A and B are shown apart, each in its own frame.
Chain A
């Protein structure tokens, strides 16, 4: 039996507790500092649910964790095919970790397609649990296995556990009045039970979950629980699994507080509800279903008792249009979408720039162009967010860095929108949206005060002494215009997308006025109060790695590896992409080399080079997946040496 010991490079991720055998009854228990498990099966096999449950058990146990769901765009791709494989990777540890892990230590493969699609990601010596029942001749032929990989020696370098998962599940459920097909559906719970035994996961949560999920079908709940327990017992009794593993809670990794596991989209939805409360404004979401953003619409639609209005529009344009209408009426207005939706919303974003109303545009980026890769991640909408409109139409852009950080990013986006009366882009991505990690639940008094003052009366005195309301008379500090909502007596005014006269807001085609208004709108965005960027540079490095968005985890993991190997490298990560932090130019010029890893072809690097005349180098990957820490470390090492 191969035991799982962290490689030296992996140990650089944090403090390592060495392997330690602990006799427990007749089976060995080994202690690990971290494990990466990948569940893989057909898209109908329930792998996402299995992964979610294992994650919840792991979170409840107190490990640090990071997840990477990976699934096809098709709801039910043809069964047993490579494109139909759905997987869920989970990295958990007794210390602070940053990524879902590069290479799984354990693969659970529910069928030949799942084995074939994932085997190349596994290091030699990894454990593979295969459902042998699915390795029929036909199923293997379907994915191009001429001979059974379980028998032809091709898996010799791995530690393979052949388990007839389907048969065992059906056997375990024979007392239930279920058809064979119905019983087979619980095989994912059998696998979950087995893995839960292997890694000493608490089981109460899953049983409670199953009871509640199938509350209306108690028989199905009982069958799933029975399968789950059977999987556990199978691990405990069978000879094939001689060892189980402990990964201690990550007590040192977390500051004091109450924690929960949270995905990026859930954190973002909660951030919007929190922003609504902190601003004391009703939340209005106008949205059209699109992967991978729809979960925010689903989540917010559950919280009507917070005064949240969700409007599923007829199209992307109506989604943002309705949101803008609600913003005019005094709501905290949001639209959620992905890249193709942003393209459709562009004209309305331009109108929002011209109307100078607060509006949040949440873009959960996915692979592009066009429909691209709906369920895969990418960061290629940055330039679209920056420049994808007609005319000079500056829009602030901010990006969260991890799933949990989506909460704070939503509050920050709301702060900027409300303070400066402007649309704001919030750029998340599919990796952050669906991935999850532990989140310290904030106390409410830690949240920012986002309250705004609507205009209440005249703000200008004409030469003849008349008091009037000018909708485009600006706050001298922020350059924000007053927000005068319908229902306020005496402030009746008309706004629109035609150029407006400075101050009065009346239609104006005057050349000098247009020049002034274009420059003023730009100055307003340029002048947004943005915190300085912090640089992590303990050793006075000569190379800086600069990132934005969800690359934070992989970049930080890579930097740790390099430092552990004695290299010197500085790291900085941008939350604000428009405007950039005021000190960014100074920071960039401090280093001989600046490397910008991005999941695009160099969009931030382009902006940096244009604005600061810094010879920033791009390191790019656009394969729909997050960077792997090791690969990034290698690239950064080359940059340091190059």
Chain B
């Protein structure tokens, strides 16, 4: 059941079928010859650099790595990776990647998507990829706005947001991507922030090591249409107050001098933030990312104030072992051969009742 160590957990299992690189790799090996065309100052640059910087650590043959994206600013990502890649159509990347990953267990398949791509037009494919637990690593760049179409509200925009398409304020209640993923039976859900290279890299590491679908929500700044959306989580001083760093096996504490902590309200069963005192210190919740029940992970995903982002947890909310779809699909093929022998076409075609006409 639940394991206790997170470091390198599952690495061998998750990537065992992907061939290893022959030579030592560097970040440069993963940069394509294409000019990067995001707006200057876009958070996507930091994420690209972090991914390119992390890839050599995996040590996989880069011809066995594929990045698949949908449509939107973030979905240009594959063009900049010197791996195989497909820039597909709006919202469909998880479906396309599912076909690729389930037919090619020797590939490491990554999906790059945005809040509009993954949660609006492609919401159906996202939840079904998560419940199937296909061996995909989904990087969801969440900037809470539509960038490529020049600034309409997205499914993660806050209620009342004034945009080009909502001059009197958005009426839509937003999705919480982490809550949605947990509800969709995701086996791995994490959140990070574009500007925190170290944390982002650690989340990539854990996602890569996870067997099955890993969803990593990356808060990403769109400096043109939604600038500063996550400043409260980035500014050193405000971040200390606002960010809860989840670490498996550790008490969930944050704030200056770790003065704040997350406890369960005995009356409602819900989680709440309290000031830690010697009396309640023992009640502070110890984070268990591998808990079989998604209850605490879900409750943690609801802690943050959706408008102010105060109390935003980052890190791995949930990481549990579940059967992996593509592995099981391959197993069924093997089992069918074991049971019935390798398919013989002549026998198949001549099956059923036959009769012979002689000359």
Contacts and interface: CB of A to CB of B under 8 A. Distances in A.
Interface of A: 56, 59-60, 62, 205, 251, 254-261, 270, 273-274, 277, 282, 284, 286, 303-309, 311, 313-315, 317-318, 321-331, 333, 347-348, 350-351, 355, 441-442, 444, 486-498, 506-507
A333 B104 CA distance: 13
B86 A273 contact: no
6 contacts: A274-B349, A306-B342, A318-B124, A322-B98, A326-B99, A327-B99
A230 B358 CA distance: 35
A277 B344 CA distance: 10
Contacts of B84: 486, 492-494
Interface stretch (B205-213, B269-277, B298-306, B329-337): B329-337
A260 B87 contact: no
Nearest to A250: B357
Nearest to B342: A305
B81 to A, nearest CB: 8
Contact of B358 (A56, A256, A308): A256
A282 B81 CA distance: 28
A347 B128 contact: no
* In the complex, the 7 A-B pairs of residues with the closest C-beta atoms, listed nearest first: A496-B87, A322-B99, A325-B99, A321-B95, A306-B343, A325-B100, A304-B336
What size tier do the contact residues of chain B reach?
A: 35 or more
Contacts of B64: 486-487
A331 B333 CA distance: 15
B98 A318 contact: yes
A509 B351 CA distance: 54
Given A303-B348, A325-B99, A492 B62 contact: yes
B182 to A, nearest CB: 18
A261 B353 CA distance: 8
B93 to A, nearest CB: 8
A308 B342 CA distance: 11
A444 to B, nearest CB: 6
Contacts of B124: 314-315, 318
Contacts of A308: 333, 343
A566 to B, nearest CB: 32
Contact of A494 (B79, B336, B342, B359): B79
Contact of A318 (B19, B81, B125, B337): B125
B103 A317 contact: no
Contacts of B125: 314, 317-318, 321
A213 to B, nearest CB: 14
Nearest to B108: A486
Nearest to B338: A305
Nearest to A302: B336
Contact of A497 (B87, B329, B337): B87
A491 B86 CA distance: 14
Contacts of A313: 95, 128
Nearest to A57: B353
Given A284-B99, A317-B92, A506-B34, 16 more contacts: A62-B355, A258-B350, A303-B343, A318-B95, A325-B86, A325-B97, A326-B102, A486-B64, A487-B64, A487-B107, A493-B84, A494-B34, A494-B78, A494-B87, A497-B87, A498-B87
Given A284-B99, A306-B343, A318-B128, A441 B337 contact: no
Contacts of B336: 303-305
Nearest to A278: B345
A486 B101 CA distance: 11
B341 A305 contact: yes
B66 interface: yes
B343 A307 contact: yes
A497 B83 CA distance: 18
User: Which residue, of B79, B333, B348, has the highest number of chain A Cβ atoms within 10 A?
Assistant: B348
B78 to A, nearest CB: 5
Interface in B187-204: none
A347 B104 contact: no
B308 interface: no
B149 interface: no
B63 A259 contact: no
A324 B92 CA distance: 11
B61 interface: yes
Interface of B: 19, 32, 34, 61-66, 68, 78-79, 81-89, 92, 95-104, 106-107, 124-125, 128, 329, 332-333, 335-337, 339-343, 345-346, 348-359
A256 B128 CA distance: 51
B87 A492 contact: no
Contacts of B97: 325
Nearest to B96: A325
Contacts of A322: 95-96, 98-99, 102
Contact of B86 (A309, A350, A495): A495
A303 B355 CA distance: 24
B66 A311 contact: no
A321 B99 contact: yes
B99 A507 contact: no
B79 A507 contact: yes
Nearest to B34: A506
A311 B96 CA distance: 12
B353 A492 contact: no
Given A315-B124, A325-B96, A497-B89, A60 B355 contact: yes
B354 to A, nearest CB: 5
Given A259-B354, A331-B103, A487-B64, A311 B98 contact: yes
Nearest to A447: B345
B34 A305 contact: no
A306 B134 CA distance: 22
B104 A486 contact: yes
Contacts of B353: 56, 59-60, 205, 260-261
Contacts of A328: 66, 86, 96, 100
Contact of A256 (B333, B339, B350, B359): B359
A306 B65 CA distance: 27
Given A318-B128, A494-B85, A498-B87, A329 B104 contact: yes
User: Which residue, of A282, A322, A325, A442, has the highest number of chain B Cβ atoms within 10 A?
Assistant: A325
B200 to A, nearest CB: 23
B348 A270 contact: yes
Contact of B356 (A258, A311, A355): A258
A403 to B, nearest CB: 14
A495 B87 contact: yes
A327 B86 CA distance: 12
A507 B78 CA distance: 12
Contacts of B66: 328, 486
B231 to A, nearest CB: 32
B338 to A, nearest CB: 9
Given A256-B357, A313-B95, A355 B343 contact: no
Contacts of A493: 84-85
A183 to B, nearest CB: 28
B63 A490 contact: yes
B333 A305 contact: yes
A60 B196 CA distance: 73
A258 B355 contact: yes
Contact of B355 (A59, A282, A333): A59
Contacts of A286: 99
Contacts of A261: 352-353
Nearest to A310: B329
Given A487-B106, A493-B84, A311 B349 contact: no
B355 A318 contact: no
A155 to B, nearest CB: 36
Contact of A260 (B63, B83, B98, B350): B350
Nearest to B22: A489
Contacts of A350: 89
A347 B341 CA distance: 39
A444 B348 CA distance: 11
Nearest to B33: A506
A254 B357 contact: yes
Contacts of B352: 260-261
B356 A321 contact: no
A59 B357 CA distance: 12
